[in-house]
Amino acid sequence: MSMDLQQAVRSYSFAERSKSELLIASKLLLALVSFSPKEKEGGRRMIISLMDAIRTEIDFAHNSTGNIEFQKAINHVNEAISLTESGQFGLAAEKVAKSISAVTTVAQAAWQVLDERGLL
């Protein structure tokens, strides 16, 4: 997908913000594994809320840019939420990692456009 300068700036900004949020979600999912059973229930609910908020942010990015990689990231977050609901935190973290990869693809493509224009 070819990007103009304005789209590159928006895509890069959305992708980097999404990546940061997803990295936090991934770390929290991995931490949940070591929680006591009593703590896991509250932690599970909180991480699901966080991932739902991240999904909303990525959906906004997708709607604003039309970049299919954002849709792929949303799909992976949806899978991560389902896995988290069933207590499969390690597998959920793997899905979040795939989402991180998708948004990183967007950031890299936007970075290339910005670099070619001498803006970085």
Q: Would you state the structure tokens that stand for residue 100, as one six-digit string?
A: 């991180």
Q: What pLDDT score was predicted for residue 1?
A: 54
> Which H helix or E strand runs over 65?
helix 37-65
Distance separating alpha carbons of residues 72 and 18, to the nearest angstrom: 13
CA separation (Å) from 89 to 7, 30, 33, 83, 95?
Answer: 35, 7, 7, 7, 10
> What pLDDT does 43 receive?
95
Residue 117: predicted pLDDT: 85
pLDDT of residue 4: 87
Number of H helices, E strands in the chain: 4, 0
Q: Within a 10 A sphere around the Cβ of 62, how many other Cβ atoms? A: 20
- In tens digits, what is the pLDDT along the chain, a chain of 120 residues? 578 899 999 999 999 999 999 999 999 999 999 999 999 999 999 999 999 999 999 999 999 999 999 999 999 999 999 999 999 999 999 999 999 999 999 999 999 999 898 887
Which residue ranges form the domains of the chain, and what is each CATH number?
5-116 (1.20.120)
